[in-house]
């Protein structure tokens, strides 16, 4: 009886050892999981189009604006160019070209015609990347400085953009100075009346170079 019990214990031990050995072998044979790979960070596009400073197709280029001239497949002829104070820009091959007073589309057409002497079927686009020619100026009892002239901007809107006036300002005697035909013209503006909706004709549309004086 004792021998039978001892034999049973030996067999059970051998079976347990065999099972453990088999588990160890299975663990070795099991393929290792490949480490997870993170997706590479998105890289900015090298040939991304420049951001236009205006969506107005009728915008007239002025001195000190900055343009991006892009000639398709001609990198040496493409690049950012400033409009000089004389209203002209300088480009390879065609040298000085009048830009001020033209729309970006009209300038692109002009450059296309000029480049036909040097490039087969040139395709030119012109983008205004910085508007520096259309500015107005604030002086006196306000936040003085130069401000961009937005489309259809009025005197009231310009004063709002500047935070209007200080506590010492005489808001009844504000005026706009404008050069017209070589002469300086003065346009009065009563802020308090404008706030009440009176005398709407005084809230004129501003033009490049106008100066708003807040006494």
pLDDT digit string, tens, across residues 4-32: 554 455 445 545 545 554 555 554 555 55
Question: Any bridge partners for residue 130, and if so which?
Answer: 66
Question: Alpha carbon of 91 to those of 83, 97, 161, 212: distances in Å?
Answer: 11, 8, 37, 37
Phi, psi of 107 (to 5 degrees): -65, -40
Question: Any bridge partners for residue 146, and if so which?
Answer: 137
Residues 6 or more apart whose CB falls under 8 angstroms from that of 207 comprise 149, 178
Among the ranges 26-35, 49-58, 109-118, 141-150, which has the highest mean pLDDT value?
Answer: 109-118
Domain segments of the chain: what residues? 66-130, 135-214
Sheet holding 79-82, edge to edge: 79-82, 66-71, 124-130
The answer to whether domain 66-130 and domain 135-214 are alike in fold is no
User: According to the model, what pLDDT value does residue 29 have?
Assistant: 52
State the DSSP string of 156-190: HHHHHHTT---TT--TTSEEEEEEETTEEEEEEE-
SS3 for 89? strand
Mean pLDDT of 101-126: 95
Owner of token pair 């346009």: 187
Average pLDDT, the chain: 83
pLDDT tens for 149-208 read 888 899 999 999 998 899 899 999 999 999 988 899 999 999 989 988 888 899 999 998
Tell me the C-alpha distance between 206 and 178, whole Å: 9
Residues in the chain, overall count: 215
Mean pLDDT of 62-90: 94
Q: Could you please state the CATH topology (level 3) that the domain comprising 135-214 is classified under.
A: Outer membrane lipoprotein wza fold like (3.10.560)
Given a contact cutoff of 8 angstroms between Cβ atoms, the answer to whether 129 and 119 are in contact is no
| 38-42, 102-106, 135-139, 167-171, range with the lowest pLDDT | 38-42
Q: Could you please state the CATH topology (level 3) that the domain comprising 66-130 is classified under.
A: wza like fold (3.30.1950)
Tell me the C-alpha distance between 3 and 110, whole Å: 112
Given a contact cutoff of 8 angstroms between Cβ atoms, the answer to whether 68 and 88 are in contact is no
Tell me the C-alpha distance between 65 and 85, whole Å: 9
- Does the predicted TM-score (pTM) go above 0.85? no
């Amino acid at each position: 009886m004792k021998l039978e019990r001892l034999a049973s214990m030996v067999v059970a031990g051998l079976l347990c050892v065999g099972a453990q050995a088999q588990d160890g072998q299975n663990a070795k044979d099991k393929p290792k999981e490949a480490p997870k790979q993170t997706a590479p960070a998105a890289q900015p596009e090298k040939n991304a189009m420049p951001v236009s400073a205006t969506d107005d197709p009728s915008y007239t280029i002025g001195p000190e604006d900055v343009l991006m001239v892009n000639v398709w497949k001609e990198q040496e002829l493409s690049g950012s160019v400033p409009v000089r104070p004389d209203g002209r820009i300088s480009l390879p091959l065609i040298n000085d070209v009048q830009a001020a007073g033209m729309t970006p589309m009209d300038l692109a057409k002009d450059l296309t015609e000029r480049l036909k002497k040097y490039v087969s079927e040139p395709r030119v686009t012109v983008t205004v990347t910085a508007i520096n020619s259309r500015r107005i100026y604030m002086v006196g009892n306000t936040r003085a400085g130069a401000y961009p002239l937005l489309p259809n901007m009025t005197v009231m809107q310009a004063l709002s953009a500047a935070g209007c006036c200080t506590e010492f300002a005489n808001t009844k005697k504000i005026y706009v100075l404008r050069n017209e035909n070589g002469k300086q013209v003065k346009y009065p503006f009563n802020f308090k009346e404008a706030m009440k909706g009176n005398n709407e004709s005084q809230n004129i549309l501003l033009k490049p170079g106008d100066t708003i004086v807040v006494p």
